[in-house]
Copies of this chain bind each other. A is one copy, B any other.
Amino acid sequence: MNPQPYLQLDRVIHEKGRLAIMSMLAASAELSFTEMRDALGMTDGNLTTHIRALQQEGYVSVAKSYQNRRPLTTCSLTPAGRRAFTQYIDLLEKIVRQNKSE
């Protein structure tokens, strides 16, 4: 077995909740906080913590605005986040292939 793909997995993306968030964002230009929270069944606190970790890593950008006078928070992947996520999924694919062939 080649241990490289395992060692290279990005720790920030690898966490289950953040992996789900990154996958959702990768499929859209942007998503609102509430859309993500409801789709993922996360608490506000849990989603906030994960988004903050992804933001600190430079993977996600957060924009605050208003819609019908109510505050609206939207998230999107940064170019660095999209690159890191593509790399991560490529590594997962290697890991799946390695384990399916053995």
Contact = CB atoms under 8 A, between A and B. Distances in A.
Contacts of A67: none
Given A1-B39, A27-B102, A102-B27, A19 B95 contact: yes
A53 interface: no
Interface pairs A-B: 4 shortest CB-CB: A6-B20, A27-B102, A93-B96, A89-B99
Categorize the interface residue count of chain A.
20 to 34
Q: How many copies of the shown chain assemble into the complex?
A: 2
Interface in A1-51: 1, 3, 6-7, 9, 11, 14, 16-17, 19-20, 23-24, 26-27, 39-41
A14 B95 CA distance: 12
A98 interface: yes
